[in-house]
Structure 1
Amino acid sequence: MNSISDDEFERLLADFGASSVHLETRDAYGTEVELPHMAQWAAGELDDLEWLQGWCSVVREHVAAGRIVRRARIVSEPLSDYQRWSHSIAHPMVEAGEDIRWVPRRLVSSTAIPGNDFYLFDDELVVFLHYAGNGLGVDKVTSTDRRDIDLCRRAFDDVWQLAIPHSEYKPL
């Protein structure tokens, strides 16, 4: 497994062949980009979500080219503040074509899930996302090991079967 830079990761997000799937398993994250916007939300201030438009443009390009972009979020209920905020800002990404779904954690007790969040690109490359206890990302590690790819593919498919589309999920 090899660590990759943020720039290398951004290139992977922008340049996969047919599909990108992303499994999120944490109740809170602390990305430097998101924290100020979440604080704004917590203070009851409006956010124009302009900061999401770069990602939305990438998603629209993928969808227009026939590529699939899916994300499954395993969440504890009632939702953490982070996940309530995340749900409240997902609509531009969904409108752009990212299929975002929500899975109550209680439904995945019998599902084998890798120890880290991941992206799986084209069933050929896994990027495991490593986080500190406070939710800040600390590393991104790639693998082309078939066992890792198969584990992530099975985990995502199993979670996806239980997932609730964003438009139908009602946060608790």
Structure 2
Amino acid sequence: MSAFDDVLAGNAEHERTFTDTGMAGRAARGLGLVMCMDSRISPLDMLGLRPGDAKILRNAGARVTDDVLRTLVLAVHLLGVERVLVVAHTDCRMTKATDEQVHATISEAAGIDTRSLEFRTIPDQRATLEHDVQRVRSSPYLPAGLPVAGAVYDVRSGHLEVVVPEA
């Protein structure tokens, strides 16, 4: 028995009915999304998109890290992304603790010292979203004037509120 038997069985079923669409690897609607990894959120459904419409980058808290910026540079210059939306969400675990608390919790639960990691918890979601949108806007590797906005998705209502409009 493998820890992955269930997902490999799911893939076998997927493969059985799979048809190659011939879809290109570009973002058909020119959209780059930076989102939280929260499994309650389905980015395509949330925005009325279809597979292939957007490049979706997900991490804890929808943070614009160096790796997210690197990926956005590739997406913009090589994969058809022409606009970027950073989407935080309500009831995000990253807004409910400090980095120090997360380190302590992991240390107590698993006996692991994680202090060399920066978890980028979020003390003020709107301020953090504004900061992360500005990181994208100010990147010297992305085109000046690239439309970038920030929004908060409500996991209970499905509503998306733009809180950092495109400049």
TM over 0.5: no
**Range of TM-score over shorter length:** under 0.3
Q: Which has the larger radius of gyration?
A: 2
TM-score for both structures, normalised by structure 1: 0.25
Higher strand share: 1
Query: Which is bigger in relative contact order (C-alpha 8 A, separation at least 6)?
Result: 1
